């Protein structure tokens, strides 16, 4: 599933095609994906001008001049592909329609924004701009925002008897982190993923917060990580997977000490870590 860096990369890729422009026609090719689409979604989108694009956790929100916002969740295999527009020196031609092109937004500029999702775990919904939504209601602070600092994290981890890896994946504690970037951040911070969250010291949480920010910033700059289906809005792969230090590298030498990278399963998710560097 795309994590924060992939979703932020998609949001930035959508901006030239959508921000400030009118959706002249919305083609909605099925009644829904993971959940039904909202009533009259095509009509409510058609003629609306996109005022801006935001990201909250792993969700994209397009604010419209109708007073509503379009919420997009990419699900497991979702892609938001832009065509018919110049981006820098590149022109992305319109591709032939594909089987899983579920929603197509045709912009006044001639650009198209296509939501393609093979497994149908993605979602689209409309909500009042600035209003609440069940998918957003319980989210913690953004890890790149000012509200996420060492004091906040220490307070939320205090007394918790779950592994720190699991705590960082809890979207109520911090929004947008997923398995890849938690593994990478814990490795860089030299924290054992099996440690109970409540056992982290103040020094360790102070070390962990900037490491999380650095990992996310580097991944965004690299266009995210493409492991299976993720693509940027022009169809390009992300490149951060070439910078993984532990994730997906079971048995490979640790880049710091040479110890083979280990894999364990925590809460049904693979955790990759170095048994030598991440001790204590």
Catalytic sites, residue numbers: 2-3, 58, 269
Taking Cα atoms as reference points, which of 55, 224, 238, 17 lies closest to residue 139? 55
Question: How many Cβ atoms from other residues are within 10 Å of residue 202's Cβ?
Answer: 11
The neighbouring-strand residues paired with 82 are: 113
Taking Cα atoms as reference points, which of 228, 178, 223 lies closest to residue 78? 228
Distances (CA, A) of 109 to 25, 62, 113, 115: 12, 17, 11, 18
Rounded Cα gap, residues 277 and 254, in angstroms = 9
Residue 153 φ then ψ, to 5°: -65, -40
Residue 126 φ then ψ, to 5°: -120, 135
Distances (CA, A) of 157 to 96, 126, 153, 174, 198: 49, 34, 6, 11, 5
Our measurement of the distance from residue 7's CA atom to the centroid of its chain's CA atoms, rounded to an integer in Å, reads 4
Name, in order, each residue with C-beta under 8 angstroms of 142's C-beta and a sequence gap of 6 or more: 56, 57, 148, 174, 175, 176
**Pairing state of beta strands 112-116 and 101-107?**
antiparallel
Rounded Cα gap, residues 49 and 22, in angstroms = 4
């Amino acid at each position: 599933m795309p994590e924060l860096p992939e979703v932020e990369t998609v949001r930035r890729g959508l901006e030239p095609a959508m921000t400030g422009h009118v959706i002249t026609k919305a083609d909605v090719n099925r009644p829904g994906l993971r959940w039904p689409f909202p009533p009259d979604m095509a009509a409510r989108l058609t003629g609306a001008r996109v005022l801006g694009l935001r990201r909250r956790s792993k969700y994209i929100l397009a604010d419209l001049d109708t007073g509503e916002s379009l919420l997009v969740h990419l699900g497991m295999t979702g892609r938001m592909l832009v065509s018919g527009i110049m981006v820098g020196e590149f022109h992305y031609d319109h591709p032939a329609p594909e089987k899983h092109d579920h929603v197509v937004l045709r912009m006044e500029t001639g650009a198209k924004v296509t939501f393609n999702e093979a497994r149908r775990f993605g979602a689209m919904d409309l909500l009042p701009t600035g209003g609440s939504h069940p998918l957003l209601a319980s989210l913690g602070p953004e890890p790149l925002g000012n509200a996420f600092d060492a004091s906040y994290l220490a307070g939320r981890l205090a007394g918790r008897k779950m592994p720190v890896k699991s705590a960082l994946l809890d979207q109520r504690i911090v929004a947008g982190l997923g398995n890849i970037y938690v593994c990478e951040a814990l490795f860089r911070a030299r924290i054992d993923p099996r440690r109970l969250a409540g056992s982290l010291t103040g020094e360790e949480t102070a070390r962990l917060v900037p490491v999380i920010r650095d990992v996310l910033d580097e991944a965004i700059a690299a266009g995210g990580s493409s492991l299976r289906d993720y693509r940027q809005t022009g169809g390009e792969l992300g490149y951060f997977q070439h910078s993984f230090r532990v994730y997906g590298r079971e048995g490979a030498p640790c880049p710091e000490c040479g110890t083979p990278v280990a894999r364990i399963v925590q809460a049904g998710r693979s955790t990759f870590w170095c048994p030598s560097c991440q001790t204590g």
